[in-house]
Amino acid sequence: MSRQVNEPQTYMYHTMSDIERPHLSRQVPMSLQTPRVLLPILALLCVATGWNSLEAQTVTGRLTDDSGEGLEGAMVRLLDREGESTTQALTNAAGNFELDGVPGEYRLRADRIGHASSFSDWFILAEGETVSVSLSSAVEAIRLGSIDVEADRRCRVRPEEGLAVTQVWDEARKALAAAAWTQERGVYRYEMMDITRSLDRDGRRVLDEERSFNQGYSRAPYISLPANTLAEAGFVTEDEQGLAFYAPDAAVLLSDEFLDTHCFRLRQGEDEAEGLIGLEFEPTRGRRVTDIEGTLWIDPNTTLLRWLDFRYTNLPFPDELQSGLVGGRVAFSALPNGTWIVSQWRLQMPRSGTRRNDLTGQRYAYLEGYAVQGGQVLRVHGEEGTVALSEQEGSRITGAVFDTLRAGGLEGARVYVLNTGIEAVTGFDGRFTIGGLDPGVYDVTFGHPYFDELGYVPLPYPVEVGQDTVAQVTFLAPPKRRIVDELCQDDPRPDTRGIAAGQGVHDANAILMGQVTDEGGTPVAGAAVRVLWREWSVDFREDQPSSDDLVNEGRLGAVAITGPTGLYRVCWVPADVPLQVTVLERLEDLDPGRQTAFRNLIELGAARREQFTIPGSSQFATRNLELSLERTGTIEGRVTGVEDLAGAVIHLVELDRRVALEPDGSFVFDAVPTGDLTVEITADGHTVRRSVEVRAGESAVVDVTLPDATILSPSPTR
């Protein structure tokens, strides 16, 4: 063995404080109402290089196959005489590795996933020396497909060598060790997508979802609490803020604390895990803290670790909230250089509500649904370059939107999942793909620019997707004429008008739509849109028309109220007839049959009138309107504690406006400008002042009880 002295590089890490240490958790307030979310965050690392002036002991070497080619991504460990690993490292692309250690006697162990371990001879590592060791990896591949999963179903703590469960654990351990090493030593820049989702009480239908993207340098996408803390305090902890849920990372699963408090057995995969071998674990008997049970799923052909499913046990919840759906999933991925990372994670917690027992009157908790917090690594940036993990992993919804008029794909349609930020735009052939979904039932619909002008949204279609499956759905975009008919199908079309007693002469068969916005372009909800047109009616004196018949001229009309996005729709107005359209901020005193319907000069100034005609050839028109919002509010209140209200006066000081009290002591100031104002109340020989803030469109309340009020100054006695 050759010996030489090297001075290794020293890496100094500046990490965030313990309070900001990233972890996968969820806080649930102790009242068990809507949970407070603690999202996984990235622990930013500042990396600097330098030279250590002190001499160190180093073991270098190269791992090769039988042909002499270097093997990348193998975990090489420095083992002492007790068989304990003192340090470890992954081999690089050329199969090289470098380990630091203290003086002593050692040998090397090389672990490759899917292959038997290789060992070196024993050697002495002296102080300040570098030892070079060559290792050759075993050629034979390990296959787990022949293992009889049902042969031994006992749950064993640290099962001894030779058992089938030990063979499976050894392969899982290799991947976990690489993931733990990557978390501890590797510094990658991650691009990640964080997901927060609400599910119904069956845990299937997605009620809402939020997605956010972030990136930064981190040791791992998320880090769990230390293993000894979880072993003592449990995976669900309680503090003054509520309950915090924690998920295990690779280091926790490999720890002595976890292995000593959990037993393992094998199980055969079913459904989404069909063809996989499961390494099932559960807490040992007597565990009193909240713990986890679950399964590590391994591909028996490649011996690669796929994912971990886990559930919480011994939860501190009422029986009504106990559910087997409270748990999570952690998926692992191998990078080309042999490092392993957590590529996806999900944590699902109960979301509770409270109800009152009709018989006892007592309140009790019930399961309202589930809150889900998770994430996915999209890309990993390291010294070797960028590794892109598919953004379409997981379940997918694919399909097409067809144009019924052209009998082809509709390009530019927006297909989206309701109550989430998930959407896709169709290509030239009308096809789309929505990926990165968890299993569940999603309400999917679509839109197009020509839908928007009509304010039309097709009814959503529920789409159920399973684990790593593709669901397909096809949409047909209706023509504009059909949309118009559907929009007013709940409003019966009036009979054709004719020269008959009490009827007008115009056919009301057109539709007017549009949007009301303020001066800044913001949609105005709750605005009143009035449409008027001139009509005539004939009062017949006899069965046949004659010169004695009376023709009455008047106005007919209709009113529509804008929705949350400012859209309005007026069905069945006449075409080829001049229409007068007026928009007001409120509906009060609005009479469609009156030419004027304004309460005061302010409303008159705020109203916008337009006159136009809908062509009879289209029988449909869109008219967007602008409304100058009223920048006033109302002050109202009541004076109590005074027997004699006669002569009491309420004075709005800044405007020098006065009103008398009503018999019940109430008062109102209408159309008050916004801002801070002063109300002065004079009653029963005293004067009291109150400051009040008036906001646009709102009513400020000033209630005064005179015996308890602070009297600013006595009024002169009359």
- Structural domain ending residue among the three candidates 606, 626, 646: 626
Within-domain flag for 240 = yes
**For residue 80, pLDDT beyond 70:** yes
Looking at the structure, do residues 348 and 229 belong to the same domain, yes or no?
A: yes
**For residue 509, pLDDT beyond 50:** yes
Mean pLDDT of 399-416: 82
Domain span at 665 = 632-714
How far apart are the C-alpha atoms of 718 and 707, rounded to whole Å?
Answer: 20
Looking at the structure, do residues 208 and 327 belong to the same domain, yes or no?
A: yes
How far apart are the C-alpha atoms of 533 and 501, rounded to whole Å?
Answer: 19
Q: Which of residues 52 and 127 earns the better pLDDT score?
A: 127
- Structural domain ending residue among the three candidates 626, 641, 664: 626
How far apart are the C-alpha atoms of 668 and 662, rounded to whole Å?
Answer: 9
Query: According to the model, what pLDDT value does residue 175 have?
Result: 86
Within-domain flag for 9 = yes
- Structural domain ending residue among the three candidates 165, 195, 216: 165
Q: Residue 407 maps to which CATH number? A: 2.60.40.1120
Task: Give the three-class secondary structure for 181.
Answer: helix
Looking at the structure, do residues 531 and 573 belong to the same domain, yes or no?
A: yes
Q: Which of residues 523 and 32 earns the better pLDDT score?
A: 523
Within-domain flag for 522 = yes
* Domains held by the chain: number: 5
How far apart are the C-alpha atoms of 657 and 661, rounded to whole Å?
Answer: 13
Mean pLDDT of 415-444: 86
Mean pLDDT of 44-62: 55
With cut-offs at 50, 70 and 90, classify the pLDDT of residue 294: very high
How far apart are the C-alpha atoms of 448 and 478, rounded to whole Å?
Answer: 11
Range from 24-28, 106-110, 329-333, 453-457 carrying the lowest mean pLDDT: 24-28
Reported pTM: 0.58
Query: According to the model, what pLDDT value does residue 444 have?
Result: 92
Query: According to the model, what pLDDT value does residue 550 have?
Result: 62
Within its chain, how far is the Cα of 230 from the centroid?
A: 28
**For residue 613, pLDDT beyond 70:** yes
Other CB atoms within 10 Å distance of the CB of residue 404: 12
How far apart are the C-alpha atoms of 367 and 352, rounded to whole Å?
Answer: 5
Phi first, then psi, for residue 385 (nearest 5°) are 120, -160
Q: Which of residues 147 and 339 earns the better pLDDT score?
A: 339
With cut-offs at 50, 70 and 90, classify the pLDDT of residue 545: low
With cut-offs at 50, 70 and 90, classify the pLDDT of residue 605: very low
Beta carbons of 298 and 277 less than 8 angstroms apart? yes
Query: According to the model, what pLDDT value does residue 52 have?
Result: 40
Which of 23-37, 276-290, 536-550: highest mean pLDDT? 276-290
Within-domain flag for 483 = no
With cut-offs at 50, 70 and 90, classify the pLDDT of residue 60: very high
How far apart are the C-alpha atoms of 472 and 397, rounded to whole Å?
Answer: 6
Within-domain flag for 591 = yes
Beta carbons of 516 and 522 less than 8 angstroms apart? no
Helix H, strand E, coil C: the string for 519-569 is CCCCECCCCEEEEEEEEEEEECCCCCCCCCCEEEEEEEEEEEECCCCCEEE
Using a pLDDT cut of 70, give the percent of the chain over it. Answer: 76
Which residue is listed with tokens 């009490």?
Answer: 502
**For residue 238, pLDDT beyond 80:** no
How far apart are the C-alpha atoms of 416 and 458, rounded to whole Å?
Answer: 11
Other CB atoms within 10 Å distance of the CB of residue 2: 8
With cut-offs at 50, 70 and 90, classify the pLDDT of residue 206: confident
Within-domain flag for 264 = yes
With cut-offs at 50, 70 and 90, classify the pLDDT of residue 187: low
**For residue 496, pLDDT beyond 80:** no
Instruction: List residues bridging with 12 in a β-sheet.
Output: 48
Looking at the structure, do residues 672 and 607 belong to the same domain, yes or no?
A: no
Within-domain flag for 587 = yes
How far apart are the C-alpha atoms of 571 and 478, rounded to whole Å?
Answer: 19
Looking at the structure, do residues 256 and 297 belong to the same domain, yes or no?
A: yes
Looking at the structure, do residues 618 and 647 belong to the same domain, yes or no?
A: no
Looking at the structure, do residues 585 and 637 belong to the same domain, yes or no?
A: no
How far apart are the C-alpha atoms of 634 and 650, rounded to whole Å?
Answer: 14
Looking at the structure, do residues 689 and 543 belong to the same domain, yes or no?
A: no
How far apart are the C-alpha atoms of 327 and 468, rounded to whole Å?
Answer: 19
How far apart are the C-alpha atoms of 299 and 471, rounded to whole Å?
Answer: 25
Which of 293-302, 373-382, 546-555: highest mean pLDDT? 293-302
Query: Could you read off the pLDDT of 424-438 as tens digits, one per residue?
Result: 999 888 889 988 787
With cut-offs at 50, 70 and 90, classify the pLDDT of residue 296: very high
Phi first, then psi, for residue 218 (nearest 5°) are -160, 155
Mean pLDDT of 672-689: 83
The DSSP annotation for 81-111 comes to TTS-EEEEEE--TTSEEEEEE-SEEEEEEEE
Query: According to the model, what pLDDT value does residue 309 have?
Result: 92
Query: According to the model, what pLDDT value does residue 148 have?
Result: 64
Within-domain flag for 326 = yes
Looking at the structure, do residues 534 and 675 belong to the same domain, yes or no?
A: no
Query: Could you read off the pLDDT of 347-395 as tens digits, one per residue?
Result: 888 888 778 877 777 877 788 888 888 888 888 888 777 887 765 456 8
With cut-offs at 50, 70 and 90, classify the pLDDT of residue 629: low
Looking at the structure, do residues 440 and 339 belong to the same domain, yes or no?
A: no
What length is written for the chain? 718
Query: According to the model, what pLDDT value does residue 508 have?
Result: 77
With cut-offs at 50, 70 and 90, classify the pLDDT of residue 33: very low
Average predicted confidence (pLDDT) for the chain = 76
Mean pLDDT of 48-77: 74
Q: Residue 637 maps to which CATH number? A: 2.60.40.10
The DSSP annotation for 663-714 comes to TTSEEEEEEEESEEEEEEEEETTEEEEEEEEE-TT-EEEEEEEGGGSPP-EE
The DSSP annotation for 333-345 comes to EE-TTS-EEEEEE
Query: According to the model, what pLDDT value does residue 261 have?
Result: 92
Query: Could you read off the pLDDT of 154-164 as tens digits, one per residue?
Result: 888 887 666 78
Query: According to the model, what pLDDT value does residue 394 have?
Result: 65
Using a pLDDT cut of 90, give the percent of the chain over it. Answer: 9
Beta carbons of 16 and 43 less than 8 angstroms apart? yes
Mean pLDDT of 582-598: 54
Query: According to the model, what pLDDT value does residue 589 have?
Result: 43
Query: According to the model, what pLDDT value does residue 602 have?
Result: 43
Q: Which of residues 379 and 553 earns the better pLDDT score?
A: 379
CA neighbor of 232 nearest in space, from 289, 292, 314: 289
**For residue 604, pLDDT beyond 60:** no
Looking at the structure, do residues 25 and 116 belong to the same domain, yes or no?
A: yes
Q: What is the DSSP letter of 156?
A: B
Looking at the structure, do residues 379 and 419 belong to the same domain, yes or no?
A: no
CA neighbor of 626 nearest in space, from 552, 537, 527: 527
Query: According to the model, what pLDDT value does residue 28 have?
Result: 41
**Residues near 713 by beta carbon (within 8 Å), at least 6 away in sequence:** 686, 687
**For residue 421, pLDDT beyond 50:** yes
Query: According to the model, what pLDDT value does residue 549 have?
Result: 56
Query: According to the model, what pLDDT value does residue 500 have?
Result: 40
Q: Which of residues 526 and 520 earns the better pLDDT score?
A: 526
Beta carbons of 295 and 281 less than 8 angstroms apart? yes
How far apart are the C-alpha atoms of 311 and 325, rounded to whole Å?
Answer: 7
With cut-offs at 50, 70 and 90, classify the pLDDT of residue 295: very high
